[in-house]
Amino acid sequence: MTSNGALNRIAPLGDRRLTSKHLNHQLKQSSSSLSYRTIQSNKLETENKTVSKEAAISQGQGAISITSHTIKPSFSIFCDELDDDLTRDAHENQHQVKDESESFSKYDHKEVHYVTNSTNNDDSLCGSTADEFSEYHTAPLAPSDRERNQEHISCNEVYMDDIYNYMRKQELRLRPRTHYISKQSDINEEMRYILVDWLADVVLEYELQLETFHLSVSLIDRTLSVVDCPRLKLQLIGAAAIMIAAKYEEICPPSLKEYVYTTADTYLPSQILRMERVVLSVVNFNVNAPTSNWFALRLVRLTKPTRLTINTLNYLLELSLLDSTYLKYRTSLLAAAAFCLANIITGPVPWPAEIERDTGITVPDMMDALTDLLRSFHQAPKMKHKAVFEKYSDERFDAVALITAPDSLPSIHT
C-alpha cells in the first residue's frame, strides 16, 4: 500500500523500537515523564506475556496435544462510586452483563478488570437519557432550507430531522467518561496523547478517512472508561480500535497484517483480534458514536466555506483529539466551537445567525471551548510529539498550522 521508506517514518514503526535496556530505563521513570516508548513492550516482557505453545505427542494415543501458557498483566476491576451529579443518573440503572458472548469469554475476562460496569442498555458511560431534556438538547434543531436541498442522505428531507435528532441523543448516551484517566492505575494523560499522535500518523500514511480517526479515538476513550489498562496493552487497544473504525468507515480497510506491522510486530495478529472482541464487547457493539467530525461536516454542508476554512476546522478538531480535557464538551458543541474559531482565523463571519438558529448553540455556550481550542492552536508547535501539527503544516492542507492566530478571542457578533 505504501513504500517501506514512507512507513518507516511512522511513530511506532521500526525506527522507534527500543532495546530492552532502554525500555527498562523508561519504565523505571515516573509516570509523568513517560514517552511513547513506554507503550512498546520489550522483548523480555513479550517472551513472558505472549502465548507460547508447546506440542507434545501423547504417549499411547498417537495424537498431538497443544498446551497454551498465557501470562498477561492483570486488569484491576473496581466500580465507580456514584457520588456526583454528573454520573449518578447515568449509572443508577446499570448492572453487570451476565450473558457475554462466547468470543469474549474466551479472552478469559477474569483477567480483564473494569473501572465501571459495562451495560446492556442504551444509557451511556457518562451521559443519561435524562440529558435529552436539558436546555442544551431541547434547543431548536430544525435544519435550514439550504441543507434540505443537499443530496447527502443526512440532508434528505425525508430523513434529516430524524437523523440529526438521533445523533444529538446518541452523543449523550455514548460519551466516554470525562475524567477516566484519573481512574487508570498504569497510564496517564501523556500516554494517551502519544497514542493518539501515533494514530494520526497511521491515518495519514494509509490515507484513511478523518471520521475513521475520530471514531477510533472515541472507541479508545469509551473502552478506557470501563477497562483499567496496563501500559503495555495501550497500543494494542489503539490498534484494535482503529481496525474496528476502518472496517466501519473505509471502503477498503487495511488488512490485519498492516496493523501488526504498524506496531513494529509488538503484537501478534491473534492478540489484535482478541482485543477487537474485547473493545466491541465493552462498547456493547455500539460503534457509531457521533464524533465532532460528523457534526462539523454538517456545518460545512450548511455554509459551504472555503478550503482554507475547512482545513483549519479539521486541524482544530484533530488537536482536540490529543487532549482528554476536551472530553468534557459534547461533540456537537466542540464542532461548533472549532467551526467558529476557524472562521475567526480565516476571515468569514465567526458564527452566522442562521447556524445559531439551526444548532441552538450560542456564542456564550462555546466560550470555554473556544478558549481551549485557541490555547491548543498556540501550543501545538511546542509539543514534543507533532504528528498533527506537521500534517497541517504541509501545503497539501494549506499549511493552516502556520497561520497566525489571534492571541485572544475577539468580540464575536452573529
| Span 367-383, pLDDT tens digits | 999 999 999 999 999 99
For residue 55, the surrounding DSSP H or E stretch is strand 52-57
- The answer to whether the CB of 32 falls within 8 A of the CB of 46 is no
Instruction: State which amino acid sits at residue 357.
Output: R
Domain extents in the chain: 85-121+179-282, 290-402
For residue 69, the surrounding DSSP H or E stretch is strand 64-69
| Span 291-334, pLDDT tens digits | 999 999 989 988 899 999 999 999 999 999 999 999 999 999 99
Tell me whether the CATH fold assigned to 85-121+179-282 matches the one assigned to 290-402. Answer: yes
- The answer to whether the CB of 383 falls within 8 A of the CB of 410 is no
Instruction: State which amino acid sits at residue 298.
Output: R
Q: Crossing angle of helices 210-224/189-205, nearest 10°?
A: 150
Q: Which residue in 174, 138, 139, 167 sits closest to 294, CA to CA?
A: 167
First to last CA, the chain: 46
| Span 62-102, pLDDT tens digits | 333 333 334 344 444 334 443 444 343 344 433 333 333 34
Quote the pLDDT of residue 403.
94
Quote the pLDDT of residue 359.
86
Quote the pLDDT of residue 357.
87
In this prediction, the residues of the chain whose per-residue pLDDT falls under 50 are: 1-110, 118-144, 146-150
Q: Does domain 290-402 have CATH number 1.10.472.10?
A: yes
C-alpha cell at 164: 440529526
What pTM was computed for the model?
0.69
Name the superfamily (CATH) of residues 85-121+179-282.
Answer: Cyclin-like (1.10.472.10)
Q: How far is CA 187 from the centre of its chain?
A: 16
Quote the pLDDT of residue 115.
62
Quote the pLDDT of residue 412.
77
